Structure 1
Amino acid sequence: MSIKMITLAFVGSIFPVILFNIDRRKIIFAGIGGALGWIVYSLVLSKTTSEVIASFFGALAVNAYSELMARIKKTPASMFYVPGIFPLVPGITAYSTVTYLVQKDFSSAQSTGILMLGIAGAIGFGIMLSSAFFGFISKIYKNYIRSVR
């Protein structure tokens, strides 16, 4: 894991903030989310060598951070996890899949396509699981506050 890659993940998370016209005061926080996701992705990838598992944990970290920042900044979590997830998106894998299809190398296209779908599914599942967990904790907290009053 290098500082250069973490910096690129940070910058790669800032540009979608500009592209999607998200509030500029949240630009640094979105970048931190992308960098955090890349750090978790890199650590898990070095331990497991599975891009799918690493993408899942990276997305889980990005969304957990986004849910926390959403509560702190009183804004929707999507303002943080949409740009933060960009460094984890399997763009080169999708590009390779299409390239193999154009070259009529169907076995390579199949393997990279399955990997791409696995990574995309892992990212989606990581976001969903983290959102469900925070929703569950939020509901428990609201019920606790209501019962104390």
Structure 2
Amino acid sequence: MIKMVLLAFFGSAFPVVLFNIDRKKIIFTGIAGALGWIAYSIVFDKTGSAIMASFFGALALNIYSECMARILKTPASMFCIPGIFPLVPGITAYSAITYFVDKNFNMAQSKGLLTLGIAGAIGFGILISSSVIEYIFKLRKYCVNS
């Protein structure tokens, strides 16, 4: 588990160079990826569902990203986009294409639908967490100003 968390950390921290993000935020970006992977691993161990695990991984990752964006006064996408890399279903998509090329259409369909489900769960997790965080901060701002 520790090895995978470290790989998720580095898998999120290294793309920061490609995106030209401020070098001072590399560690926070790596933490975002590691946190998303920890949430993914916990949910996957409990449920066995990659789709549900991806949803909760993206949810945890984006809540962290939104909070760090407000703390460091930077866009949340600086943490969320590189942080989501460990959750992207690349091997599943590759498997779907490989099965399709090998004319194993049942497995290709199964892996393709799993890939779409995981991608949709990641998107939905980001959507829900962004909306909830935005609502909480607006509510907090409203309560403080009243």
TM-score normalized by the length of structure 2: 0.98
1:141, 1:39 → 2: CA distance?
A: 29
- Aligned positions of 1:99-138 closer than 5 A: 99-138=98-137
| Matching residue of 2:10 | 11
| Matching residue of 1:20 | 19
Post-superposition shift, 1:145? Answer: 2.3
Post-superposition shift, 1:101? Answer: 1.0
After TM superposition, where is structure 1 displaced by more than 4 Å over at least 4 residues in a row?
none
RMSD of aligned residue pairs (Cα, Å): 0.7
| Matching residue of 2:58 | 59
Deviation sequence 1:46-74 (CA, Å, 0-9, x none): 00000000000000000000011011101
Question: 2:64 is aligned with what amino acid?
Answer: Y
Say which is worse superposed, 13-22 or 73-82, in terms of deviation: 13-22
Deviation sequence 1:80-111 (CA, Å, 0-9, x none): 11111100000000100111111111110000
1:103, 1:86 → 2: CA distance?
A: 28
TM-score normalized by the length of structure 1: 0.96
Post-superposition shift, 1:28? Answer: 0.3
Answering whether residue 73 of structure 2 is matched by residue 74 of structure 1, we say yes
Gaps of 5+ in 2: none
Post-superposition shift, 1:138? Answer: 1.3
Identical residues among aligned pairs (%): 68
| Matching residue of 1:96 | 95
2:119, 2:14 → 1: CA distance?
A: 21
Say which is worse superposed, 74-83 or 135-144, in terms of deviation: 135-144
Deviation sequence 1:89-138 (CA, Å, 0-9, x none): 00000100111111111110000000000000000000000000011011
Post-superposition shift, 1:146? Answer: 2.2
Question: 1:83 is aligned with what amino acid?
Answer: P
| Matching residue of 1:47 | 46
Post-superposition shift, 1:17? Answer: 0.9
Gaps of 5+ in 1: none
2:17, 2:61 → 1: CA distance?
A: 19
1:139, 1:18 → 2: CA distance?
A: 33
Post-superposition shift, 1:16? Answer: 1.6
1:49, 1:122 → 2: CA distance?
A: 15
Post-superposition shift, 1:79? Answer: 0.5
1:16, 1:53 → 2: CA distance?
A: 26
